[in-house]
Structure 1
Amino acid sequence: MHHLSASLYRSASLSCVIAYSAHCLAAGYGINENSASYMGTAFAGRASNPVDASIAANNPAGLSFVTHTILSAGSAVIFKGGEFKGQYTRPPRFGGIVSGETLVGKSTDYQKTTPVPFGHFSMPFNDQLTFGLSAYGPYGIELDYDNDWPGKYFADKTSVKVINLQGTLSFKLREDFAIGIGLIGSHVNGKLTQSSGVPDVLPIDATIEGDDNTFGWNIGAIWQVNEQTKVGAVYHSKLDFTLDGDIKAHGRLAIPENPLINATVNDKVGAKLDITMPERAALSITHKVDPRWTLMADATWTRWSHFEEFYVKAKNKMKVSLSGGFPSLPPEITTNPSSYIPMNWKDVWAYSIGASWQVSPQWLLRFGYMRDNSPVDDKNRTVRSPDADRNWFTCGVNWQATESLSIDVSYAYVVLDKGKISESKYKGTAPHAVDENYGKITGEYKTSSHIAAAQLNYRF
């Protein structure tokens, strides 16, 4: 029964193993697109250039310099893309009773087209106090690999959505200096699937769904150094989540050392995952060169080193039904599907520069570039977090249609550095060794994205 128990344990562990990655992807794939106006300059100046109500999500102090009641609302669309080429290899097992396996191939457009809506409202109470309300998505991802891709034993679909609701108060302490604070309620929801598990080890379908709510805050300041220059600084707090959800698994397990045994899984158990989304701090500067040209720059630090590991804990044991083989075979056994995965992410910086050009009273053009570093590298990349350092090339336009109405449209082309992957599965019990029987996925990712955004600004 030793080999039988080991095989059953690995099968039940599948659903928890996939759980960690989606939620870390929501974090590792932070979404910048909370404003079409700032996307045009690659988000340079987003903490120091108060052009509309969307600055609240980037620096709450900026609302003090938005002098009218304004509604800014719109959406970005991240279009499909991405390419993977590589192979899955598994060694022979059980002394050669079960042969090894090699799958070679690719998957394209695994990153799915995803809308990212946002909305911001700003209303000054008086010359010193301004109130704001915002809704935006700070994290999210939609991945759906081809059904027959080489990494099908590691991942199929990944869907994670995070929504922030933020209330903001901004205080203008002096004519040239303001501070602000935002209080945030955050909701996360994730669903992951994995089908067609490794033959003779994990031939089951598994799904995990979970959600949670938490609270956070951000605080910022803006100093208008002179008529031409503003400097902004902002700090975003960490977000502590405890994701509660269900693990569902079903399928038949083949037991190569005794094919007469029929082992099936058709169960659902609760699971919990404690994760922390990291702190962020940014420094931003905006300088008006002349009445037509404005230059901007931004540096943002993110403390991704919080992600050292993930430990998914099952609330109950998973049931496995047994039949055939031996008269003394019990009708059912249970196994603990808790799992562990090392992350070892690193702190990162993102740097951006941008410019705007007032072509005429009605038209404003924007341009920008950002170098956005990733906490993921070739040592810790996974099929559910195929991230890499990236370059953003952006442009945008603002049209002042009427005295009260303006429209922003922006475009970004994002190119990720090529990223290699060599991923194995880890056992859920200490000392969390690699499960050599599961096999390994190796290969290279080559990814780029097209992003478009539109935003309406209405001044009351």
Structure 2
Amino acid sequence: MKKFIVAALAVASVCGTAKAEGYQINSLSAKQIGMGHTGIALKLGAESMFFNPAGMAYMDKTLDLSGSVTGIMPTCTATVDGVDYTTDNGVSTPIGVHAAFSIYDNLKGGISFYTPYGSSINWTDNWPGAVLNQNVNLKVFTIQPTLAWAITPKFSIGAGAMISWGTVDLNKGLVTSETTDKAIAALKTLGQLPEETPAFGSTTPASVNLNGKADMVVGFNVGAMYNITENLTVGASYRSQMKMKVKAGDAHVRYANALAQGILGESLDLINEANFKAEMPCPWVMGLGVSYKPVDRLTLAFDARLTGWHAYKRLDIEFLAEQLTPYNQNIAKKYKNSWCYSLGGQYAVTDRFDARLGLMVDTSPVNDKYYNPETPGMTKIEPTVGLSFRPIPSLSIDLAFMYVAGLGVDNASCEYTDLLGSTMINKLTNAGVPSSVIEGMGFRPTGTFTADYKLHAFIPSIGISYSF
């Protein structure tokens, strides 16, 4: 059994890969979360560097500093054959830190650090979809130096360079327990395993950890803003696509128990010594926004953002070792571009206290026929609430809360290559076993995982800003 499994393990180790679905983060400002994460047509000072760099041009302070941290606490449930499997997730903490300063009255500069993309989910080791994903942690970091120029009192432009890098850490099953148990039974029949060899049941026999760092890449974030009247402003922004490339990721194997290591260990040495390269797109984002002040104390805003997820057509994984090139993978994803709509309002209750409400509708880019549970993608409804308190005029303490309600996805499926099944078909055929008998044993070259998915998340955020 040891020798013939090696090909199956080599390919299975990269199926599912280090890519999460719908991994754009829309929770990078405690103030703006309260307004549905709007900001394309708002003059936010230093925080405009992320939403629309042109808005920073109207900053009326010498120096503006702000920072926020958000806690994302999601719960995902997959229903398989009537049984619910729930994730065991930790708390993800995207951050945004911004500093802007005045160069001239109409020219501002600044630098921003934020986490625009990321995903973290833990399905646990032995759930039925382990061959697709057990857990994943994906992070992208960006430093953005920015300039903004108010060409006229009504019109401004801004531009920043997005200097980005990332990390990925993914665990997944190498082979399914179901196929492994069928192989054990078949090999007992052929006399190649002792009769007392136990089955694995629901335990994933062996898993692989894929870990890599993406090299630094550079994109751009540009925007324009126009004040139609003193109370009505429109804005447009564009963040460019970036390709994050892992040039030499590491693969490491772990076993469920001593039996799994004894059966599979010799074959897995090749995987432990292997490096892989992969590429993931951080898609472009185009945004349009409008803000309006019907009265002095009330600000309303609406944003519409189109994200270019169509760039995620497939995931290509290539081993660097020449002997493993037959096992390179081209995994179809076939995402589509998707819209996110945000609506928010802020009311200045007093000179020191602001209250906010908002709503986001984030549509899914995921194709239900190529649905990988790395991060379940579905359309989400996201109401928000927030407030700011200023103990002194130059200092603001900001609190916000967002609730994410996924609309659910039924009968979402993902096909995967079952190399162990394919190898067993060939082995049994060569041993003279009739094809009808092989078919009755249940071996298949591919498998399909199908489930119904639900998710919700609690997202609190806290921020602080200081200006003078």
Tell me the CA shift for residue 204 of structure 1: 2.7
1:226 partner amino acid: T
| 1:33 lines up with 2:33 in the alignment | no
Match of 1:239 among 237, 242, 257: 242
Q: Which residue of 2 aligns with 1:443?
A: 451
Q: Which residue of 2 aligns with 1:277?
A: 282
Match of 2:157 among 134, 159, 179: 179
In structure 2, relative to structure 1, the CA distance for the partners of 1:67 and 1:345 (3 Å cut) is same
Q: Which residue of 1 aligns with 2:362?
A: 372
In structure 2, relative to structure 1, the CA distance for the partners of 1:376 and 1:314 (3 Å cut) is same
Higher helix share: 2
Match of 1:395 among 365, 385, 398: 385
Q: Secondary structure at the match of 2:19?
A: helix
Q: Secondary structure at the match of 1:361?
A: coil
1:208 partner amino acid: L
Report which stretch shifted further, 156-165 or 192-201: 192-201
Match of 1:14 among 12, 15, 20: 12
C-alpha distance in 1, partners of 2:103/2:153?
A: 16
C-alpha distance in 2, partners of 1:9/1:131?
A: 55
Name the Cα RMSD after superposition.
2.6
Mapping for residues 247-326 of structure 1, pairs under 5 Å: 247-249=251-253, 263-266=266-269, 267-317=272-322
Q: Which residue of 1 aligns with 2:341?
A: 351
1:15–1:249: 8 Å Cα contact kept in structure 2? no
Q: Secondary structure at the match of 2:268?
A: strand
1:313 partner amino acid: E
In structure 2, relative to structure 1, the CA distance for the partners of 1:241 and 1:262 (3 Å cut) is closer
Q: Which residue of 2 aligns with 1:228?
A: 231
2:171 partner amino acid: T
Once the two structures are superposed, what CA deviation does each residue of 1:124-156 show, in whole Å capped at 9, x if it has no partner?
111121011111111111111133322123221
Q: Which residue of 2 aligns with 1:211?
A: 213
1:308–1:345: 8 Å Cα contact kept in structure 2? yes
Flag structure 1 segments of 5+ consecutive residues without an equivalent: 88-103, 254-258, 319-333, 429-434
C-alpha distance in 2, partners of 1:436/1:219?
A: 51
| TM-score under structure 1 length normalisation | 0.84
Q: Which residue of 2 aligns with 1:145?
A: 123
C-alpha distance in 1, partners of 2:321/2:19?
A: 21
In structure 2, relative to structure 1, the CA distance for the partners of 1:239 and 1:335 (3 Å cut) is closer
C-alpha distance in 1, partners of 2:263/2:106?
A: 79
Tell me the CA shift for residue 387 of structure 1: 1.0
Tell me the CA shift for residue 111 of structure 1: 4.0
Q: Secondary structure at the match of 2:66?
A: strand
Identity of aligned residues (%): 25
C-alpha distance in 1, partners of 2:384/2:57?
A: 27
In structure 2, relative to structure 1, the CA distance for the partners of 1:186 and 1:74 (3 Å cut) is same
Report which stretch shifted further, 296-305 or 375-384: 375-384
Q: Which residue of 2 aligns with 1:91?
A: none
1:347–1:375: 8 Å Cα contact kept in structure 2? yes
Once the two structures are superposed, what CA deviation does each residue of 1:67-105 show, in whole Å capped at 9, x if it has no partner?
111100120110142222114xxxxxxxxxxxxxxxx73
Mapping for residues 379-390 of structure 1, pairs under 5 Å: 379-390=369-380
Report which stretch shifted further, 264-273 or 28-37: 264-273
Higher strand share: 1
Q: Which residue of 2 aligns with 1:47?
A: 40
Match of 2:53 among 60, 63, 76: 60
Match of 2:409 among 419, 433, 447: 419
Q: Which residue of 1 aligns with 2:432?
A: none
Q: Which residue of 2 aligns with 1:322?
A: none
1:37–1:408: 8 Å Cα contact kept in structure 2? yes
Q: Secondary structure at the match of 2:392?
A: coil
1:338 partner amino acid: N
Q: Secondary structure at the match of 2:77?
A: strand
Match of 2:145 among 125, 147, 167: 167
Q: Secondary structure at the match of 1:10?
A: helix
C-alpha distance in 1, partners of 2:268/2:217?
A: 34
Tell me the CA shift for residue 453 of structure 1: 0.7
Once the two structures are superposed, what CA deviation does each residue of 1:47-74 show, in whole Å capped at 9, x if it has no partner?
1111341111111111111211110012
1:351–1:371: 8 Å Cα contact kept in structure 2? yes
Q: Secondary structure at the match of 1:42?
A: coil
Q: Which residue of 1 aligns with 2:105?
A: 127
Flag structure 2 segments of 5+ consecutive residues without an equivalent: 184-203, 420-442
Tell me the CA shift for residue 278 of structure 1: 1.6
Q: Secondary structure at the match of 1:16?
A: coil
1:366–1:395: 8 Å Cα contact kept in structure 2? yes
1:41–1:355: 8 Å Cα contact kept in structure 2? yes
